[in-house]
Structure 1
Amino acid sequence: MINKIKLFFRTLKENPQYRKSFLRKTAIIFSSAITLVLLLVFLLFISVRVGLFGKLPTHRELASVENYLSSEVLAEDGRLLGKYFILDRSHANLDQISENVYHCLIATEDARFYNHSGIDYRSLGRVFFKSLLLQHRSAGGGSTISQQLAKNLFARSNNGLLSMPVNKIREMILARRLEKIYSKNEILVLYLNTVPFGENVFGISAASLRFFNKNPRDLKKEEAAVLIGMLKATSAFNPRLYPERALHRRNTVIGQLLRYDYIESNQADSLRALPITLDYNPITHNQGPAPYFRENVRHEVAQILNRYNEQNLTDYNLYTDGLRIYTTLNYDLQLLAEAAIKSQLTRQQKVMDAFYRNQSPQRAASLLNSLMRNTDRYKSLHKKKAEKAEIEAAFSSPVAMELFSWEGPTPAKMSPLDSIFRMQQFLHSALVSIDPGNGHVKAWVGGNDFRYFQHEHVLAKRQAGSTFKPFVYATALQQGIDPCEYIKNEQTVYENYDNWSPTNNRDDYEGYYSMTGALAQSINTISAHYISMTGVLPVITTARDCGIRSEMPRVPSLALGTANVSLMELTASYAVFLNEGIPVEPIWLMRIEDKNGKVLFDNKKQQPYETVISPDVALMTRHMLQTVVDGGTAGSLRYNSGLQGALAGKTGTTQNNADTWFVGFSPNLITGVWTGVENPAFAAIYKAPLGSGGSAVPIWGDYHRRMQHHPDVRRYARGSFTALPDSLAVKLGCAMYLEELPVNWWESIFGPSDTDQRERRRERDEEERPRSRLRRWLEDIF
């Protein structure tokens, strides 16, 4: 074989005629091959052009290009709280994107962008030989920005071995059409609004918010270089996951800026020396500011859109139409609230853990078994008709899992049954702040972490405990009961109420309390006395007028907070004490606009602005609530949290510390805090170790302290209460507590004897006693 090859080359060299004939044949073959290839490419081009590989978008469709846009939830100042989306994409206009982004994009992706009409023929040759002939998938480099835009707008199709050439030709045709319809700047904007950045994020606006927590107009050169560098491989060059790769890629982009004279050499050196500094802001359905609030808004907006679409024959979609949803939430207060809860519950959970560490799960075996039966794991096994032994084994065998902790997700290996026991031990919390002047909700924390706990505690109903007592005291004042009438602190059996006999929390039954002292120290026996004097129904009426919408039991234990109420309604109801008898309705959703600014919903809800209790009663109740903070059950706000200024509020704790509350207010803001275990039945077995003074009150104090030090929101923590008129100050001008009453104190000063009180209770009982149908009929006639 070697000899034949040598002979061929010798003949080719020594015989000119043979050489000429060989070269002619070679040229014919090569020309024929080139012609054939060009013919095949032409036929393929025509096939794609006429739609044999799928219909191409028309000029009309290209001129009205639309992509799914995320709907945005905005705080009162326009800052982004979160989004609803299928694909996280936000639209940015030309002037809303920094020129640094444009420079990085053009220098890196398409240096001759302004010199071609959609196709860069110089780069096309490289793509032809490397990608088409040599089948190098990584050849790249030939697609212009216009071609990449076509790829972003219209997904590639699978055509087997012809996929690469068919898709390239398709994108070339669409790129040419796009260039005829749109200007170069419009193509840049379209591209930057549609390009993927990984993590289900699309568009420069969403990407700049995700990785740098800023608008695209504010991106620096080095930040723009990071984002544009990601386009080569969004996962491989993700700066959060692979910072070293991202740094190298960013510096490559900076090198391109230097190459095409967008920056000077010394500036390039300075930029390369900078580290990548992220301000990662994962605004997703479950993360970011106010996730519980956004989930509630999501449901409300969906209902509003359904009604709007039915009435106007439209088809607005919350997840695809780029709606702008304006709320009342204050962005800064929201972050302060979330920070306060995290800080305090991190500490408080350690107390809970230390307590439960010494508790046996066997005490809660029945409850845990019931909870186990409600899990998806159990239902799946039960559906498969698994035997009891198999189910027990599945729940007792350790498995790898991820558990919530305030320090971050914690890997663990434990049995599913042990994980159920562990989940019951977490202390949960919620917080809501309301502007008493207009009812606008300013902060809303519905739980610990939406990724792990979806139950919404701002709207959930739990027993109110002693936070309900102000309505009892306000009712007593409304009925003219003297606030300086001293009531003996003693356990009493109320025969007319089925021998009900309330007790105090600390079994303390000494001395005599004025109304102010009893509320400040939250004395149950005194609250029971007042509701026995006023009657249950008037208290319910007062609470209802103030804003409690939940059903309230018609029993005297209502005075101790046995009604199940939500944190939202309880917090809003305290506005009546700030507003001199005028209640407010909480508002959090203001307006919904489509992407073009058309208003789809405008909340024109008016506040009632009518007094439901007398201004004097409201002022006196507020003054008594001030004593709760100044020297009562919330006194730690002064001596532990170090808070100064005008403050008032009321603590509350339910049986076994299942719930702890504090609803407090400054002159310009009302804030309610709830903490508790998820399941009150669990607290009935293992009494929780923290009461309101050790849980809800410190959270409120932490939040308020942060507020006082924040220049943009400290106005909510400042101000003065309306001064108590002298006439009312005199009515309340008595000591809060006496160990013994002076001789003849009762008869000589206050008059009403035990007989008078019994008669008043009898009359009230008569009013509230259910009447027979015959008696009601006769009373209606006569």
Structure 2
Amino acid sequence: MAKKAVAKQKKGNNGFLKYIKWFWFLFAGAIGGAILIFLLASWGVFGKLPTFEVLENPQTDLASEIVSSDGKTLGKFYLDANRTPVSFDELPDHLVHALIATEDERYYEHSGIDARGTLRALVYMGSKGGASTITQQLAKLLFTERASSNIVARVIQKVKEWVIAVRLEKQYTKEEIVAMYLNQYDFGYNGDGIRSAARIYFGKEPKDLNVQESAMLVGMLKNSSLYNPFRREQLTLDRRNTVLSQMEKNDLLTETEKDSLQQIPLEINFHPESHREGIATYFREYLRDWLKKWAGDPKNVKPDGEKYNIYLDGLTIYTTIDSRMQTYAEEAVHEHMPRLQAEFFHQNTPDRNKTAPFLGLTNEEIDNLLERSMKQSERWRHMKFDLKKKDEEIRASFDKEIEMTVFSWEGEIDTLMTPLDSIRYYKKFLRTGMMSMEPQTGHVKAWVGGIDYRHFQYDQVKQGARQVGSTFKPFVYAAAIDQLHLSPCDSLPDVQVCIEKDRFGNPEPWCPKNADGKFSGEMVTLKSGLANSKNSITAGLMEKIGPQPVVNLVKKLGVQAEIPAVPSIGLGTPDISIYDMVGAYGTFANQGVYVKPVMVTRIEDKNGTVLYEYVPETRDVVSDEVAYTTVKLMEGVTQGGSGTRLRHKWATNTPVYKEVITGYPYGFTNPIAGKTGTTDNQSDGWFMGMVPNLVTAVWVGGEDRSVHFRTITYGQGASMALPIWGLYMRKCYENEDLGVSKAAFKEPEELTIRVDCNKAGEEGDQTKPEDEIDIDF
């Protein structure tokens, strides 16, 4: 019996030992299998893994950044990824603390894989949190694609993430991995990476984020589509508060701090970074074309011979635009133009103008104008060349109502309208262009190409060229001073001047009239003649020197437009761009030296290597004496001519219509040189304004010359354009950090031309009373 019991016991022990052996066999097999799987994954059996070189330089799309002269980001060029990386040192401590406390509490204790977290996830099937470390999440963002719903594929992907995570930990420091992860994540609304996200959601750089803002962005890392303040505000708030709780749990916040911060609502300061929003939109579009030409030049290639991609290669473009002055310029436009537009609408109601917004056109002419506009539209181009539609079908589509969003000064309007009606609708809006430049360097400080880039994409600064009216007259005066050594105090008779046919190549006799059609017959100083825009005085100068010296001078001043050598150019018949006018006027402010306007000073690649550096283009055009004399002539415009309103100090309760006509309460007392300009039928209004270190041009008018004010009261440059200059300069002067000059223009050391016409025994200025409405052609 004893032997049988022992035998039975041995048999039981053998059975138990067999199970133990199988357990260890299976366990060893599982470990070996896991190791084999990792080895196979690392060898690339389950798909190609990044090489050492790729890990060293992960290929991510980097947006090119446009930087202002005062160090602000104006915008970016990107396709799908609006990403501009920042270093770990640029991240605030509380952002890093929030990330680690929420996403990976043992981040500094593991080497890419958190064993405790993984075991917990396996035991609880993920109900108590996942196991992905920050490094694994980075690996997933950088190198692995989204797996299918197949469980095997998901396991293989996870294994690949583990392998890549371990390699990343060997390749980079913990700090570098944190920065890479935050730079890579897509926070939505073009917020690719922490820098874009901080700027878009809070209008800040990452280093300026506070604790609750950092907590919200960290909370979005779980799922930026789900936890997004614009889509699910309460859910995002709750998620942010969870992050704050995690920070308190990890002794990164006190309970009191946590409770206090959790009571703060989400305070979003939305700054979209799309191509059509933000400041300097017209300038950025000009810059895009400029960069494409630069990148297309065979001389500007990467070390490997490839062309630079402005959307993917992370270039940094340093510009001359000052973000503060750009903002002031846009604010000035948006302050004045709605008021001017309101008056234009008032004058063009159906009972006042049956062909509104056009004046002086027959119905047939209007139909032809709209037909041309149809064929020039993007809609026509797309249907004809992309969709291969016939003209009849395209034309018919312009008469079918569709849903659209249109511009208004009160905000965008969602409406139902035919494309043809929308063309006519947009024709009634007055347009504007403005550019401001430092004449000594050529640095362009502000560039406003229109009233709203989303709806009016034609750039009036450089694309557009319009008749310049009387702003051309200083060129005639400067040429005459240069040729004849004239003084502002010299006089000419205010009589009608006729330049006969064939003289100076004139095809017809030219007998210009003054704006009011009257001639006093009296002697008028050149200073008074320019201040009051006397056509008779300009014609008299043109008769003395002829048009060719004027054309030669204008070309030296950088004007690219074709200008015929005929006397009538003296009254401003040529079409010239704002860009060229600013460069030309800048020569007078810069003592006779032309400096070509510049917008880009330097381009760097993503590593900070300088790829382009601007070399100034300058040339001597006139002597400093001629330049100074011309400036003194233009000072007369603001001392007693059509620019005198810049000296006014109207009360703030002045009626709107009076503000439009006479200006706003500027109250400037410093020396200002300038010239207003108005073309026939009030189609174009100009103002050129200069102080010693800033030259600015403003133009206002309709898209078509038939869109204009009926009378000179509102239709002159002094009413349309000058107020924008005044508002802009007032804002610039209020910011003393800008250093915009209030000083007098620099006088040459040897001045032989008499410029002060108010000394005893000399003729005084013949100017109009300050409250009289000036008529300027």
Asked if Structure 1 and Structure 2 have the same fold, meaning a TM-score greater than 0.5 normalized by the shorter chain, the answer is yes
Per-residue CA deviations over 1:376-435 (Å, capped at 9, x if unaligned) read 444555677878876555323322101123443321221111100011122221211111
The residue identity in structure 2 corresponding to 1:565 is I
Cα distance, 1:243 vs structure 2: 3.4
Give SS of 1:459's match: coil
2:135 is matched with which residue?
A: 146
Give SS of 2:243's match: helix
Cα distance, 1:104 vs structure 2: 0.8
Per mean C-alpha deviation after superposition, the further-off stretch among 317-326 and 481-490 is 481-490
One of 313, 321, 329 as aligned partner of 2:313: 321
2:371 is matched with which residue?
A: 369
The answer to whether structure 1 residue 397 and structure 2 residue 378 are counterparts is no
Cα distance in 1 for residues equivalent to 2:194 and 2:225? 16
Cα distance in 2 for residues equivalent to 1:190 and 1:407? 43
Per-residue CA deviations over 1:134-181 (Å, capped at 9, x if unaligned) read xx9x99632110110001112414445134323222212211221222
8 Å Cα contact 1:661/1:692 also seen in 2: yes
Give SS of 1:621's match: helix
Per mean C-alpha deviation after superposition, the further-off stretch among 545-554 and 531-540 is 545-554
Relative distance call for 1:642 and 1:413 in structure 2 (3 A) is farther
One of 585, 595, 610 as aligned partner of 1:574: 585
Relative distance call for 1:193 and 1:535 in structure 2 (3 A) is same
Per mean C-alpha deviation after superposition, the further-off stretch among 313-322 and 557-566 is 313-322
One of 662, 670, 695 as aligned partner of 1:645: 670
Cα distance, 1:101 vs structure 2: 0.8
2:482 is matched with which residue?
A: 478
The answer to whether structure 1 residue 340 and structure 2 residue 366 are counterparts is no
One of 106, 126, 134 as aligned partner of 1:112: 106
Give SS of 2:715's match: coil
2:13 is matched with which residue?
A: none
Q: What are the within-5 Å matches in structure 2 for residues 350-361 of structure 1?
A: 350-358=342-350, 359-360=354-355
1:721 is matched with which residue?
A: 745
Relative distance call for 1:314 and 1:433 in structure 2 (3 A) is same
Cα distance in 2 for residues equivalent to 1:157 and 1:89? 21
Cα distance, 1:703 vs structure 2: 0.1
Aligned-residue identity in percent: 36
The residue identity in structure 1 corresponding to 2:548 is L
Give SS of 1:712's match: helix
Cα distance in 2 for residues equivalent to 1:96 and 1:153? 21
1:672 is matched with which residue?
A: 697
Cα distance in 2 for residues equivalent to 1:687 and 1:39? 92
The residue identity in structure 2 corresponding to 1:100 is H
The residue identity in structure 2 corresponding to 1:518 is G
Cα distance in 2 for residues equivalent to 1:375 and 1:616? 49
Please report the TM-score for the alignment, with normalisation by the length of structure 1. Answer: 0.83
Q: What are the within-5 Å matches in structure 2 for residues 501-512 of structure 1?
A: 501-512=511-522
Cα distance in 1 for residues equivalent to 2:113 and 2:146? 20
Cα distance in 1 for residues equivalent to 2:602 and 2:633? 38
The answer to whether structure 1 residue 524 and structure 2 residue 535 are counterparts is yes
Give SS of 1:73's match: strand
The answer to whether structure 1 residue 548 and structure 2 residue 541 are counterparts is no
Per-residue CA deviations over 1:564-617 (Å, capped at 9, x if unaligned) read 211112112112322333332222211112222222112122533x3x323333
Relative distance call for 1:125 and 1:409 in structure 2 (3 A) is farther
The residue identity in structure 1 corresponding to 2:142 is L
2:272 is matched with which residue?
A: 282
Relative distance call for 1:378 and 1:188 in structure 2 (3 A) is closer
8 Å Cα contact 1:577/1:618 also seen in 2: yes
Cα distance, 1:337 vs structure 2: 0.9
The answer to whether structure 1 residue 74 and structure 2 residue 67 are counterparts is yes
The residue identity in structure 2 corresponding to 1:471 is F
8 Å Cα contact 1:707/1:717 also seen in 2: no
2:238 is matched with which residue?
A: 248
Relative distance call for 1:313 and 1:330 in structure 2 (3 A) is same
Q: What are the within-5 Å matches in structure 2 for residues 426-437 of structure 1?
A: 426-437=429-440
8 Å Cα contact 1:515/1:736 also seen in 2: no
Relative distance call for 1:154 and 1:511 in structure 2 (3 A) is farther
Cα distance in 1 for residues equivalent to 2:728 and 2:99? 44
The residue identity in structure 2 corresponding to 1:234 is S
One of 399, 417, 426 as aligned partner of 2:420: 417
The answer to whether structure 1 residue 123 and structure 2 residue 117 are counterparts is yes
1:629 is matched with which residue?
A: 638
Cα distance in 1 for residues equivalent to 2:395 and 2:711? 24
Per mean C-alpha deviation after superposition, the further-off stretch among 202-211 and 151-160 is 151-160
Relative distance call for 1:556 and 1:242 in structure 2 (3 A) is farther
Cα distance in 1 for residues equivalent to 2:480 and 2:314? 53
Per-residue CA deviations over 1:518-542 (Å, capped at 9, x if unaligned) read 2111122332232122100011122
Cα distance in 2 for residues equivalent to 1:168 and 1:139? 19
Relative distance call for 1:276 and 1:385 in structure 2 (3 A) is closer
Per-residue CA deviations over 1:708-739 (Å, capped at 9, x if unaligned) read 111322x2142222359696145674234499
Cα distance, 1:63 vs structure 2: 2.9
Relative distance call for 1:247 and 1:738 in structure 2 (3 A) is closer
Per-residue CA deviations over 1:656-695 (Å, capped at 9, x if unaligned) read 3332211111122111111222233555999996331222
One of 492, 499, 507 as aligned partner of 2:509: 499
Relative distance call for 1:731 and 1:684 in structure 2 (3 A) is closer
For this pair of structures, how many residues does the alignment match?
709
Give SS of 1:431's match: strand
The answer to whether structure 1 residue 270 and structure 2 residue 260 are counterparts is yes
Relative distance call for 1:215 and 1:310 in structure 2 (3 A) is closer
Cα distance in 2 for residues equivalent to 1:620 and 1:444? 28
Per mean C-alpha deviation after superposition, the further-off stretch among 234-243 and 468-477 is 234-243
2:299 is matched with which residue?
A: 308
The residue identity in structure 1 corresponding to 2:102 is T
2:548 is matched with which residue?
A: 537
The answer to whether structure 1 residue 51 and structure 2 residue 48 are counterparts is no
Cα distance, 1:628 vs structure 2: 0.7
Per-residue CA deviations over 1:75-124 (Å, capped at 9, x if unaligned) read 22322222222311112112111111101101111112122222223333
Per mean C-alpha deviation after superposition, the further-off stretch among 492-501 and 677-686 is 677-686
Please report the TM-score for the alignment, with normalisation by the length of structure 2. Answer: 0.83
Cα distance in 2 for residues equivalent to 1:587 and 1:190? 36
RMSD in angstroms over aligned alpha carbons?
3.4
Per mean C-alpha deviation after superposition, the further-off stretch among 386-395 and 349-358 is 386-395
Cα distance in 2 for residues equivalent to 1:120 and 1:310? 44
Give SS of 1:529's match: helix
8 Å Cα contact 1:283/1:289 also seen in 2: no
1:778 is matched with which residue?
A: none
Gaps of 5+ in 1: 1-22, 740-782
8 Å Cα contact 2:144/2:161 also seen in 1: no
8 Å Cα contact 1:157/1:163 also seen in 2: no
Relative distance call for 1:387 and 1:67 in structure 2 (3 A) is closer
Per mean C-alpha deviation after superposition, the further-off stretch among 170-179 and 727-736 is 727-736
Cα distance, 1:246 vs structure 2: 2.6
Per mean C-alpha deviation after superposition, the further-off stretch among 173-182 and 475-484 is 475-484
Cα distance in 1 for residues equivalent to 2:455 and 2:767? 50
8 Å Cα contact 2:63/2:313 also seen in 1: yes
8 Å Cα contact 2:629/2:753 also seen in 1: no
Per mean C-alpha deviation after superposition, the further-off stretch among 237-246 and 221-230 is 237-246
Cα distance, 1:464 vs structure 2: 1.5
8 Å Cα contact 1:704/1:717 also seen in 2: no
